[in-house]
Amino acid sequence: MTPLPPIFEKKESIHAAPWCGRTAPEKILAIRFQAFGDTVITLPYLQALNAIWPSSQIHFLTRDEFSELPRRMRIFTVVHTIGGGRSRTLQYGYALRLVPLLRKEHFDVVIDLQRNAMSRMIRRFLFPKGFSEFDRYSLNSAGDRTKATIDKLGSPPVPESLPRLDLREDPGTLSILNDAGYHGVNNLIVLNPAGNFVTKSWPLDRYLGFANRWIDNVDANAQFLILGTEAIQEKAVYLKEKSGGRILNLAGMTTASEAFAILQKAELVLSEDSGLMHMAWVAGIPVVALFGSTRSAWSRPLGEWSVCLDSSDLECGECLQPDCRFGDVRCLSRYTVEFIVETAKALLDRRRQRGT
């Protein structure tokens, strides 16, 4: 496996000043700016904190483009946002204008789940009585590091078993799915060929092969859906055409919260490393995650209903490179359609045997 720079270590490194009040803090601000998948990971842990300190108001600060799903969550009193897109200069401008408004809230505690220069600046300007900062450099998973950051506040520890996200109702979600061609009674399997590099992408025709073999050997009535961002629209159109319409396409046609609601109707998600993959395991949906050049220690889905097929066993594995130096993306091309079908079937069989 490609070695890590010395800065990355397995031990935790969390800077914190625990809350020392006799009662729960009145107001808490949680900060997470990027990326979308990592923002999603924070949400069930913050919901768990809300259950521990139910009297506390929890505010959330994120970027505009990631705010739609948090706004649908019942636990947040307010979702604050900064604009500026990917421009650091513009982001700082928005952040500086927002600070005076945040100071008026008199936050008792700030949970910095980003831990960069901008989030630290905001936290220091707010003068909270308690705070904790995310561990950016250990090789623990993002979920474990989020839990550790919250636990450092001095609250009772966040439980290992997390609740499903509690979202405000959206009555239009089912109609979106039905309009795409979902029959409403079939087992729904979401396919997500969303790898943003060649080295994060399972060969596209294998998704088609997976759907065909699943119908032939596992569930003749299953329906398949591609759900995700506009970025995978070309792949979605290709797979829908090649499948004769058997694979439904909602890529780029839903908001994040609509996609989350649709995921909860799925039996299984087969996904490359992406925000939608994080949404699936957070939703408690069985996930088979295909990781190529991704560092699995940081991004792998958690929980007993997730299987992560990563490249850590290869000498060249988890290289983080956009192109394969061997030209064959062997970390992903080694997984055959038959193997993925058997892996997914075993995961679902195990879940059914547990009665969940």
Per-residue pLDDT of the chain in tens (356 residues, 90 and over written 9): 555 554 445 555 789 999 999 999 999 999 999 889 999 999 999 999 999 999 999 999 999 999 999 999 999 999 999 999 989 999 999 999 999 999 999 999 999 999 999 999 999 999 999 999 999 888 888 999 999 999 999 989 998 888 788 888 776 777 899 899 998 878 999 999 999 999 999 999 999 999 999 999 999 999 999 999 999 999 999 999 999 989 999 999 999 999 999 998 999 999 999 999 999 998 889 999 999 999 898 888 988 899 999 999 999 999 999 999 999 999 999 999 999 999 999 999 999 888 76
Amino acid at 176: I
Where in the sequence is the domain holding 290, given as residue range(s)? 174-354
Are 228 and 287 part of one and the same domain? yes
Residue 201: other Cβ atoms inside 10 A? 20
Contact 74, 168 (CB under 8 A): yes
Q: How far apart are CA 189 and CA 247, in angstroms?
A: 10
The CATH number that applies at residue 79 is 3.40.50.2000
Instruction: Give the chain's domain count.
Output: 2
Pairing of strands 16-17, 130-133: antiparallel
Q: Which of 102, 118, 151 is the last residue of a domain?
A: 151
What residue type is 301 in one-letter code? P
Looking at the structure, tell me whether residues 142 and 185 fall in a common domain: no
Pick the closest to residue 257 from 171, 142, 132, 152 (CA basis): 171
Q: E-assigned strands of the chain?
A: 16-17, 27-31, 57-63, 76-82, 109-112, 130-133, 188-192, 223-226, 247-249, 266-272, 287-290, 306-309
